[in-house]
Amino acid sequence: MSERVPLFRGLKQPQFVAYQLGKEEEVVGLWKPVVWLTLASIIIAGISAFFGIGSEYVSRSLPDLTRSGYEAYQTLFAAGQITWGLIWILLAIFIPSLFFWTILEVDYRKLLFVQLIISMIFLIEKLVFIPVHLFLGISAESNIFSLGIIAQTFTSIELIIFLLANITLFKVWAIILTYKYYRHLSERSPRFIIWTLIGFYLFVAVISSLLSYIKFENII
């Protein structure tokens, strides 16, 4: 295998890359992509925070603070958001691969390799969301790529809305792609792979929506 992890190619030609991966004995050169992805995540989080996406909590105090006080507040908040951007990508890379390593009998590094490619999808999702959010004036629950809007039309229960808003097209893409790779790598039945994948992502969605629901920013 070439030195670099073919992140983009991994997305566009999964068959090819998966096949190659399956043949490969050992996977090397994983750190560089981790660093790249981390940087990318920080940058994307920075752009997102710059536009104030997700800063509704801060906006609430605009009428009460001086302009410079408000800006200071928002800047610190943004710093927090960027820090999350750093942590999140690492979680997205290592946690799923760790989980599936315990289930499937596959080399951890290979799983990591796959996860790096999949993380790209999530980064793309975040990136695309920025202009959509700004131009359409929608918030995270009303993501047009998710079931969130549909959820809002038939229910007012926040938790359900959050949960369904977590189910996005990109996640579906991620599941399908991961499945393709895992099929090549693992001997487990395709059904097993699919169900564990869906289960895993559902579980993550539930946790995520719970966290959104609790609204920690109000508690601290």
The smaller minimum CB distance to another protein, of residues 100 and 170, is found at 170
Q: Calculate the CA 178 to chain-centre distance.
A: 14
Contacts 24+ apart (CB under 8 A), 128-132: 129/48, 129/53, 130/44, 130/47, 130/48, 130/51, 130/53
Structure tokens at 148: 């969130």
Question: For another protein, which stretch binds (CB under 8 A), given 2-10, 24-32, 51-59, 196-204?
Answer: 51-59
Q: What's the CA gap between 158 and 164, in Å, rounded?
A: 10
Q: Is 54 in the site for another protein (CB under 8 A)?
A: yes
The piece of 21-29, 30-38, 56-64, 94-102 that touches another protein (CB under 8 A) is 56-64
The residue (of 27 and 147) whose beta carbon lies closer to another protein is 147
Verify binding: residue 141, another protein, rule CB under 8 A. Answer: yes
- As measured in angstroms, the least distance from the Cβ of 159 to another protein is 14
**Through-space distance between the first and last CA atoms of the chain, rounded to whole angstroms:** 49
Is 130 a binder of another protein (CB under 8 A)? Answer: no
Cβ neighbours for 98, distance < 8 A, ≥ 6 positions apart: 108
Asked if 144 is part of the footprint of another protein (rule: CB under 8 A), the reply reads yes
The stretch near another protein (CB under 8 A) out of 2-10, 31-39, 44-52, 112-120 is 44-52
CB 103 → another protein: shortest distance, Å? 27
Please name which of 144, 165, 89 lies closest in space to residue 121, comparing C-alpha atoms: 89
**Closest distance to another protein from the beta carbon of 29 (Å):** 29
Q: Which of 39, 76, 91, 95 binds another protein (CB under 8 A)?
A: 76
Q: How far is CA 11 from CA 15, 45, 108, 183, in A?
A: 9, 22, 20, 16
Q: Is 31 in the site for another protein (CB under 8 A)?
A: no
Q: Report d(CA 38, CA 88) in Å as an integer.
A: 9
Chain residues that interact with another protein, rule: CB under 8 A: 49-57, 59-63, 66-69, 71-84, 87-88, 133-139, 141-142, 144-146, 149-150, 152-153, 156, 169, 211-212, 216-217, 220
